[in-house]
Structure 1
Amino acid sequence: MTSSKITPPVAKKVPLERTHHGHTFVDDYEWLRDKNDPEVVAYLEAENSYTEAQTEHLAPLREAIFEEIRSRTQETDMSVPTRMGDWWYYARTVEGKQYAIQCRCPIADADDWTPPDVTPGVELPGEQVLLDGNVESEGHEFFSLGAFSISHDGTLLAYSTDVVGDERYTLRIKDLTTGEMRADEIPGTAPGATWALDHSHVFYQTVDESWRPDTVWRHKLGTSVDEDVKVFHEPDERYWVSIGSTRSEKYLMIWVGSKITTEGWVLESENPTGEFRVILPRREGVEYGAEHAVIAGEDRFLILHNDVDPETGKKAENFVLAEAPVDDPSALRTLIEHRHDVRLEDVDAFEGHLVLGYRREALTRLAVWPLTDEGYGKLTELEFDEELFAVGPGANPEWTQPTLRLGYTSFITPSRVYDYTVSTGELKLLKSQPVLGEFDPTLYEQRREWATAEDGTKIPLSIVARKGTPENAPTLLYGYGSYEASIDPAFSVARLSLLDRGMVFAVAHVRGGGEMGRHWYENGKSLTKKNTFTDFVACARHLIDAGVTSPEKLVADGGSAGGLLMGAVANIAPELFAGILANVPFVDPLTSILDPSLPLTVIEWDEWGNPLENPEVYEYMRSYSPYENVEAKDYPAILAITSINDTRVLYVEPAKWVAKLRATKTGDAPLLLKTEMSAGHGGVSGRYEKWREVAFEFAWVLETSGACRAETSAG
């Protein structure tokens, strides 16, 4: 049982008035924003102590779940080797070690396209260790690998590390022929590094004060960082900058993108000190991507775009695929027309074929399109037999290769790695994610159901359970619903600990995500954002009305922008849920989006609207902001988890939310805040630490839903 003797921390009130568009909001807890204030740290630590005390009785259950995850995971494992140049590249994990070890071994000969058989724990002939994350992380509480980029000739490695959790990385160069580190060291970079073909120049990015990647730099090996050349700078705070190469490696590409507009710049990689030139000048509301292909012997750009069709006057909402000469990118010829039921997402070009990624009926699809001497052959979609699945390209670094590496998974199928032979259509299974113990996928089932939203829209629901799970079962309902991000089917070893205890797992594919195409996103953002919240409520009601679960057994789960969803749902329909789990939740959106000095605010205006300038946006956001709409009423049990170094959703948002809930809500449902005092947006960094974090959350979910009581948790 939870301890009732411990008094929860009560944050002091320091009223601060915020006035916009004639409306004044009194914020009592904004003082919690200063993480260098000892009083703020003391409050967060007091909340941590309270959470620890209130969940202490769950320790045996947490330990049981952790051991289940560990016992099902092949801790000493290897990825399937990927060929690049004269080497096979792969990663190892070793039992007892937190981080992966990056390795390579030589190919047998130029025609060697069959990955070597790997045995976990056994070195391959000629194996080289390129980077050991366990060595790099020594002496640090947090570790994240950013860039990991091999030069085209295979002799140099550019890699970057973050040992704080603030997503600012130090870039280093390792000579792979000698194993020695080069003198080059560049602090304060964004993750990522791109080599030029001459392997003496490397391109990287830096971020501004708001953590926005805004500048591309060129570094020449062996020179001082002070001599690095600023290649590109984007002053408009709505745009992020990135750099990479085409798959052919012939061109370097700089991409500049806001939420609704993109612009690409190109330069021949063999001329890294040259001037980048624009592909298609940016136009507000037009997004595009470009890939280099050689079609019938000529260099072409394959351009995915959502521009207006000049003939019909209609915007290609779900994108079209066009081609254009490299020297005249505006001379577009459409290859694949717009479809309302298919969202084109990606195109990869190889020497002899194209690979298309798209989305239909809320599922990802993959098709191979051979290239012929005359141009294009017959497009073939890869078919799979499960009702719900996710498929996508794997690592395919070579321009000329006879196979396509791809990944496949579902809610009940552990992830698989295949090689697809383009010439024959043969699909060869290279590896299935090992799940140790007595796991049998036939004991589980997944299905698609459709909830009906307030406006009549059908909302897809994915439902997963162990076969034989009775009706009215404890259920965890997950949602996200922002940025056109799709929550695709994926297997989880950890989730088995819920399913095997009789829980149902469900995903609400609400609007604001991208599952059903671009319109799904457009109808769940800015001034239609509330659809995201009401869709989730409709999915919860569907599960209850269908007899899958009941309010006293239903727990909602979401993180980051999905945490905004959790906070909104807590206000809108608290009676439908026994508990709400909110990870790094964006629960004070109006305060954040009103402050251009905060990380990422300006770029977010395309997603949420600009409440600084637009009174309609201000009033709309004010009407759903979880923090500003906390009321004196009963709420479900709430567990909020955050990280003090998070640069995306600041810890202060859940801290303020919990403080206000504690001072305002009625009833005695538990209210807990857990702050990681060293991690960033992704939480703790090592795999064992991540498993312990999952075990902490799952134990709380199991108890809150009634699936597992603490008294029996040890068993």
Structure 2
Amino acid sequence: KDDPEVLEYLQAENAYAAAVMKPTEPLQEALYQEMLGRIKQTDLSVPYRHGDFFYYSRTEEGKQYAIRCRRKANPPGLEFDNPQSDAPEEVLIDGNELAREQKFFSLGALSVSDDGNLLAYSTDFTGFRQYTLWIKDLRTGELLAEKFEKTVSVEWAADNRTLFYTVEDEAKRSYRMYRHALGAELSADQLVYEEKDERFRVGVSRSRSLYYLFLSSESHTTSEVRYLRAAEPRGEWTVVAERQPDHEYEVDHHGDHFYIRSNRTGRNFALFTAPLADAGPQGWTEILAQRPAVMLTGIDMFAGHMVISEREDGLPQLRVTDLASGESHRVLFPEPAYSASPGENMEFETATFRFHYQSLVTPPSVFDYHLHSRDRLLRKQTEVLGGYDCENYRSERLHATAADGTRIPLSVVYRKDTPLDATAPLLLSGYGAYGLSLPVSFSSARLSLLDRGFVVALAHVRGGGELGKFWHDQGRMAAKRNTFTDFIAAAEFVLGRKYTARDRLMISGGSAGGLLIGAVLNLRPELFRAAVLQVPFVDVLNSMLDSSLPLTVGEFEEWGDPRNADAYAVMRSYCPYSNLAPREYPAMLVKTSLNDSQVMYWEPAKYTARLRTLKTDSNALLFKTNLAAGHGGASGRYDFLREVAHDYAFLLLCAGIRA
């Protein structure tokens, strides 16, 4: 990427894309100002308690990055904790100062010592997701001498002087964990663990109770966890359960037991307890069985309660259990399609549980839920300036039917005055990989499409995690083709229901979602008017054949190992780059970033270059490279809005909407 000829080529493509999009510059500026006008630029997050402090972040108008702060807290009460404090503000990290004269900035790990005096944090200034770890003395504001390169995760031991951290190898695999004593030379740091299996990555974490540290080694299908008392940082780490193929588990702590989420009795995971004195599998007791229709996605342990995160019928659920009585109940949510997830719950001794909630029409909302009374307190809903009224929009949960009869969930949003008579443009997005669920989230920027008559739909295709591990299994490895045919079924569904027409149907996806869009365009290009592919994984075969690339070896368990003839044939059948052919394609915008460490920039570059030689249409094919960013695009909030405005202008241009 430092080759002058390569940079010249990418810059030439950028210049061509800019020339094609030049007539839309007034529209791009109008979109940007609209989006900016909906944001409260000077704002404050809801503070959360951690030890003796309330932590929060705030933004200031005109500044790209958040400022991380804290204030001394009052002693906690049994009712809803009041996050207000008259104590003076301490600025922990000002992203704007750190990013000064930088084109990119990302904050990675963030960990405060138990006594509140030391902050370990990591930064990336390229977008390559290669982080440098620093330690700041919060009493003086000074950085300590230590500087750790290529770090991933970090945790403090209970002595406030010992730090455990993990580092990457040349393929960006987190493979080693070290122990560091403050003030010591880094060369003296003890290598605690090295993961030799290239499919596995290591990470360090700590229980909410603060009693235990956990060292996890995980592949896409298998995990192994070690534990250590946080008060004994020089002690020996103990394995909970030796790794076994296809056994995934995670561990939390409460009292005299570990709580273990494991799939050893079923793909959707069950919940077990194990006494600390006998934590191996022989000592596990099942307390919540695996359920075919409900995916157990996570557990949060507190002194008196346990909160279980689940997914059922494609929707997230939160279940609260009183550990003394065993009584449990679900937190109820009012809308047909939404996202709900645990929030910042740092305290073990607490009467409240914080969660985040949003939907396609409800802005991000922070709730504190009283674990005894079941009352909920809305701490904050993100303010949408400019008179936004959710009553003007409709959110729906629909289902398409795949060729094999499988029902494919769709989340749909549009203005209530939008005609559903095949005249509206529609943007259909999807992902469908790694068992990750496509979030049903609010976007104030998206209002610029909805208010111009767009319908927006999310296709929750197989390969994702919306309906549990079975949903993931039916869209990975040899079954990967289901992901693409599900998306096509979703497209045909919205066409059949007259939400849009073929000459108005746009599609988009990023990363593995870009693979989805690329494959679909080869299968059924005539269905679509336009497509946006963001950092798309489009050269599957060549990338999966190169084990030196980040992610490749670990992802053999998601896509297959192409050195195996059967796996090669499957990947060859859908690889977007390999299946380009002389045919008509819709208008396309392909986007990448020069410093992307997950999908290398040359994949979409090669894909676009080859497509130019094959396509038989005159539709626009634009290739745009951010020369100062990584997988997530621009890091500054204003720069990111500029990128969104550009993409929306492309879609509006293709829909014939010029203002």
Aligned mates of 1:89, 1:189 — CA distance in 2: 24
Structure 1: 5+ residue stretches without partners: 1-34, 309-315
In the alignment of these two chains, the number of paired residues is 655
Q: Map 1:137-176 to 2 at 5 A.
A: 137-176=99-138
Secondary structure of the structure 2 residue equivalent to 1:659: helix
Q: Which amino acid aligns with 2:130?
A: R
TM-score, normalisation: structure 1: 0.90
What's the counterpart of residue 154 of structure 2?
193
Deviation at 1:293, TM superposition (A): 1.2
Pair 1:98-2:64 in alignment? yes
8 A Cα contact 2:68 2:92, kept in partner: yes
Deviations 1:181-233 (A, max 9, x none): 2122212222x321111110111111111111111111111111111111111
Deviation at 1:109, TM superposition (A): 2.7
Secondary structure of the structure 1 residue equivalent to 2:578: helix
What's the counterpart of residue 47 of structure 2?
81
Task: Decide which of 487, 498, 517 is 1:536's aligned counterpart.
Answer: 487
Aligned mates of 1:114, 1:224 — CA distance in 2: 45
Deviation at 1:676, TM superposition (A): 0.8
What's the counterpart of residue 454 of structure 1?
403
Q: Which amino acid aligns with 1:307?
A: R
* Distance change >3 Å, CA 671–CA 124, structure 1 → 2: farther
8 A Cα contact 1:81 1:116, kept in partner: no
Deviation at 1:116, TM superposition (A): 4.9
Deviation at 1:456, TM superposition (A): 1.3
Aligned mates of 1:368, 1:632 — CA distance in 2: 56
Deviations 1:330-364 (A, max 9, x none): 21111111211100011111111101000011000
Aligned mates of 2:186, 2:180 — CA distance in 1: 7
Task: Decide which of 31, 36, 46 is 1:65's aligned counterpart.
Answer: 31
What's the counterpart of residue 568 of structure 1?
519
Deviation at 1:377, TM superposition (A): 1.9
What's the counterpart of residue 25 of structure 1?
none
What's the counterpart of residue 328 of structure 1?
278
8 A Cα contact 1:80 1:115, kept in partner: no
Q: Which amino acid aligns with 2:561?
A: N
8 A Cα contact 2:80 2:351, kept in partner: no
What's the counterpart of residue 307 of structure 1?
264
Aligned mates of 1:651, 1:207 — CA distance in 2: 21
What's the counterpart of residue 605 of structure 2?
655
Deviations 1:75-115 (A, max 9, x none): 10001010111111110111000000011111123438655
Aligned mates of 1:700, 1:59 — CA distance in 2: 10
Aligned mates of 2:204, 2:583 — CA distance in 1: 50
Task: Decide which of 362, 377, 386 is 2:314's aligned counterpart.
Answer: 362
Deviations 1:19-45 (A, max 9, x none): xxxxxxxxxxxxxxxx23222221111
Q: Which amino acid aligns with 2:653?
A: E
What's the counterpart of residue 19 of structure 1?
none
What's the counterpart of residue 28 of structure 1?
none
Aligned mates of 1:611, 1:559 — CA distance in 2: 23
Q: Which amino acid aligns with 1:641?
A: K
Aligned mates of 1:200, 1:52 — CA distance in 2: 53
Aligned mates of 2:509, 2:498 — CA distance in 1: 23
What's the counterpart of residue 364 of structure 2?
415
Q: Which amino acid aligns with 1:89?
A: Y
Task: Decide which of 21, 43, 46 is 2:12's aligned counterpart.
Answer: 46
Deviations 1:220-253 (A, max 9, x none): 1111111111111101110011101011110000
What's the counterpart of residue 643 of structure 1?
593
Deviation at 1:703, TM superposition (A): 1.5
Aligned mates of 1:55, 1:262 — CA distance in 2: 48
Q: Map 1:368-517 to 2 at 5 A.
A: 368-372=320-324, 376-471=325-420, 472=422, 473-517=424-468
Cα RMSD, aligned residues only: 1.2
Q: Which amino acid aligns with 2:154?
A: A
Q: Which amino acid aligns with 2:321?
A: W
Please say which of residues 176-185 and 671-680 is displaced more in the overlay: 176-185
Task: Decide which of 447, 455, 470 is 1:519's aligned counterpart.
Answer: 470
8 A Cα contact 2:78 2:350, kept in partner: no
Q: Which amino acid aligns with 2:305?
A: H
Secondary structure of the structure 2 residue equivalent to 1:178: coil
Aligned mates of 2:74, 2:311 — CA distance in 1: 38
Pair 1:628-2:578 in alignment? yes
Percent identical among aligned pairs is: 46
What's the counterpart of residue 302 of structure 2?
350
Deviations 1:445-481 (A, max 9, x none): 1111111111111111111001111122100000000
Aligned mates of 1:58, 1:113 — CA distance in 2: 54
Aligned mates of 1:487, 1:618 — CA distance in 2: 27
